Structure 1
Amino acid sequence: MKRLEKRLISTFLAFVLLISNATIIHAEESQYENYDTATEGGVTLKVEWNDPVLGQETTFHVSATGGSGNYIFRMEAPSYTDPDVLSYESVADPSRGEWLNYTEECSSHDYTFTMMASGTYNFRFYVMDKAANMNYLRTNTFIQVSSPNYPSVNSIVQSAVAQCNAETDRSDYAKALWLHDWLLNKLDYDKSLKWSSAESALTRGSGTCQSYESAYSKLLTAAEIENAETRDTYDGHTWNAFKIDGEWYQVDCTWDDSNDDWYKFDERRLYFGLTDELMSLAHPGHAKIYTAAGYATRSTSLANNYFVKSGEAAKWVTSYKDRIQENLNAGKTQFSITADNAAYPPSIYGIQNGIIAYVMNTTDWYVNGKKVDLVAQTNGAQFDFTVPCTEHKWDEGKVTTEPTCEKEGIKTYTCKNCQTTKTESIKALGHNYSKEWTTDQEATCQQEGSKSHHCTRCDSKKDVTVIPKTSHTYSNDWTIDKAATCTNEGSKSHHCTRCDSKTDVTVIPKTSHNWDPGVITTKATCTKDG
């Protein structure tokens, strides 16, 4: 009876445990609302998740079955695209950090990610089962999300451009500057170097230089301003170029995003509207980029530079005016002035002084009421100035290219005051032909010759005249051309003494045989002759 009771109790407990296990399995299967799978080589990778809520973490439960049971997992950096657009951009830098690392061996792993914009996100998860020789198996999952509280990247861009148009005169310069400042106010540099997209810039407020470049490009494009990416592979950096009034300009939003106040100008706009040369002072690798063949956004103008357009650069020039004018009034045509910002780092004073020199060269300068052309150039931490003469005093000149019979020469004159040079042409000399004939080719018995009058200075010739062939001069002596033999006739002729021609070809008869005494080849017998 006790044994029966024990069996009944054991059976009851087993039944309860079975029900309990079934309940747990059912609970696990219903824990997630969505799933995606991929199968290969006997291994199945499964990803499960609940319906995502924008702005909140979504958990992705990644597991595998089959194979050896010893799995390692990895999540790739998710990518994003706006609604109804097939143009995915990696939200985070796929070449850094967590996106490269596999887990330790396990049966499952949970990943989390927060989606921040309406649109479509692409998630890719990987499993590796080395023991089962499964080195690559991946799911490829697309998740559409939407919420009025989390607009798409394109909606954010369009809203910003609409506000820009309402608050500016809608000139390309004004729009480019407004959008530049708007982006800098919205975004902070991601020192972890994780986020690298327009999505992260405009929804998370964080990103690397790639985020600044990508977001600003979308803003410029929506504002109908032609733009391009400038990628400096030598310095590992990227920024934008935009085109205004037919000219390209360089702008680095990342380096402009600064709260520093170290210098006496607006540091948040130092890199707005630069030439390639000035941008390369901050990013030396760019010098190799813009000088390479095929570079498409060559930037040489400062007309739409921020400090030029705002008039601040003109104020900088004002501090140099008295010193410049003093040198001009003294009649100097070459002089130098130390820059006021010489204590700044070279990359900073180099850019500022390049802008100052541009304004100096577009400013009117006068000496004794007469306008002069002042040329200012930067030279390290100083400005070098050159003033062309108002009245040149030329030297006697020097022949720098000699004239020839057919080509003009050049004579160069140098100003004794400013070393400026000018040139004038020297007329070609013309040919000077000799009156004497020059035999260019001797005539022969078989070919005509030629003669002409040659120029005494060059190889030119004129009056080319034919010299007739000469007559043959035959020798009176016979020349044996072929000796006669006993079996063949020979020949003889009179030969020309100047060529191979011959005449009076005559046959020489065959010669007679000259027999030897003979040799007995067969002996005679009594009955037969030998």
Structure 2
Amino acid sequence: MSFRCIVKDASGYKTISDEALLIYNQKVQTTFSKTSGNVTFKVQYPENITCGMPTTFKLSSEGTTDKVQYALYSLTTEDGTIVYDTSYGSNGKFFSKDSFDFTFYASGTYYIRFAIMDTGVSPYVWFNTGLYGIKLVIDDKGYPTVENVVADLKAQCGKTCTTDFEKAVWFNDWLVENCRYDSSYSYCAPEGALARGSGTCEAYHRAYVMLLNSVGIATDRISGDGHVWTGVQLDGNWYHIDTTWDDAGYEDNSVDLQHLYFGLNDELMNQIHSSVTSSNGISAHSLEDNYFIKTGKIKKWSDQYVSTIREHLNNGENTFDITINDSMIDSYKQIIYYLVAYQLSNTDWGGEKLTVTYSENILHCVVE
């Protein structure tokens, strides 16, 4: 049996196992108390919180009626980042039970706030424990801080990646492979994506920002249609990268979904979303570092049209259309064939300047 800790109780000092330590940590409790008027609100919780297992917060009150209820009001990191979104659904609603369980997955400093409401008196009683009332300092060796997770991933990335493009792809792929979308819309902090393995689009975006910024890559927050993704500067140009949508949760043999939304420009994103807003007003016009363009993988689709285009050009045609026969899902096709049009427009046609655009299953070709 392995031992790692010495604790003291009424009988003196003793060495305990890891398993016993978990039980010990849950038994040693601390209590927060706040009084407003005739009501005292108490929150009891473990003095030493262990990650990866539920932490129980026991709620009680004095001077209240049988109609008293409690609610989780907020849970944030030390810098104010929301960890658990109490504004969504029933997450922040009042409940009649006298306890609340939450599982932490990263060490660090948190502030948790509970609210009390007693509707059995008039006027009814309502107050909370205060923004900085309950401070939780978690130091669990098996669950590093989010900052340490980022530092570790930065080191791993540096072993194989040298360019900013390679690093941005590596971090994108790590998030896709290690996180799943949080359909409960609860976990919106980097902690969700980097430690918990589950997060909303906000969690994906914020985690990606932390990872990219750790290697000196500039970022921006971009939103549209109630969704959030990341603006990324690569080789002096800005691009849209949506790590959430790159994590489709399934595979499609027709296209690489893991990189479908990597390195898009403003024009394409405005076709995908009805409204696109950049926090810092960036403009993204380049496609040079788009994943499919940069890696040359777009040629899987574009090369099949080269001979047809050459035939039209050899016949002296200055304007012609090519019909696309592809069973790919329309939303995927919209992106891939936009990139195909870009690739074909930048192909050497023996002195001819050809502009190709895509819309509704048609490649429109015009000789300038």
Q: Please tell me the TM-score bracket, short chain as reference.
A: 0.7 to 0.9
1:356 Cα shift? 0.9
Which amino acid letter does the alignment assign opposite residue 269 of structure 2? M
* 2:42 paired residue number: 46
Equivalent of 1:113, from 99, 102, 113? 102
Equivalent of 1:151, from 127, 144, 149? 144
RMSD, aligned CA: 1.9
In the alignment, does 2:350 pair up with 1:382?
no
* 1:247 paired residue number: 237
1:344 Cα shift? 3.1
Local SS of the residue matching 1:279: helix
* 1:74 paired residue number: 71
Local SS of the residue matching 1:377: strand
* 1:264 paired residue number: 254
1:151–1:353 CA distance, 2 compared to 1 (3 A): same
Local SS of the residue matching 2:86: coil
* 1:348 paired residue number: 332
Equivalent of 1:125, from 90, 99, 114? 114
Equivalent of 2:343, from 355, 359, 384? 359
- Paired residues of 1:80 and 1:199 also in contact (CA < 8 A): no
In the alignment, does 2:309 pair up with 1:312?
no
Local SS of the residue matching 1:285: coil
In the alignment, does 2:211 pair up with 1:211?
no
Aligned 1:77-476 pairs, distance under 5 A: 77-81=74-78, 87-104=79-96, 109-130=98-119, 131-139=121-129, 140-168=133-161, 170-232=162-224, 235-286=225-276, 289=277, 296-341=281-326, 343-366=327-350, 371-388=351-368
Count the aligned residue pairs.
337
Local SS of the residue matching 2:159: helix
Local SS of the residue matching 2:41: strand
- Paired residues of 2:230 and 2:240 also in contact (CA < 8 A): yes
1:308–1:99 CA distance, 2 compared to 1 (3 A): same
- Paired residues of 2:83 and 2:189 also in contact (CA < 8 A): yes
Local SS of the residue matching 2:340: helix
Question: Which of the pair has more CA radius of gyration?
Answer: 1
1:72–1:190 CA distance, 2 compared to 1 (3 A): same
1:260 Cα shift? 3.3
- Comparing 320-329 with 112-121, greater Cα deviation is found at 112-121
Deviations 1:348-396 (A, max 9, x none): 2111111111111111102xxxx111111113211111113xxxxxxxx
- Paired residues of 1:68 and 1:132 also in contact (CA < 8 A): no
Query: Whose RCO is larger (CA < 8 A, sep 6+)?
Result: 2
Determine the C-alpha separation between the residues in 2 that align with 1:62 and 1:259: 38
Gaps of 5+ in 2: 1-26
Equivalent of 2:55, from 54, 58, 79? 58
1:101 Cα shift? 1.3
- Paired residues of 1:250 and 1:276 also in contact (CA < 8 A): yes
Determine the C-alpha separation between the residues in 1 that align with 2:159 and 2:293: 24
Local SS of the residue matching 1:316: helix
1:135 Cα shift? 3.6
- Paired residues of 1:45 and 1:127 also in contact (CA < 8 A): yes
Determine the C-alpha separation between the residues in 2 that align with 1:125 and 1:298: 42
Determine the C-alpha separation between the residues in 1 that align with 2:66 and 2:86: 28
1:133 Cα shift? 2.6
Deviations 1:315-359 (A, max 9, x none): 422100110000000001111111243x33332211111111111
Identity %: 33
Determine the C-alpha separation between the residues in 2 that align with 1:32 and 1:133: 37
Which amino acid letter does the alignment assign opposite residue 57 of structure 2? F
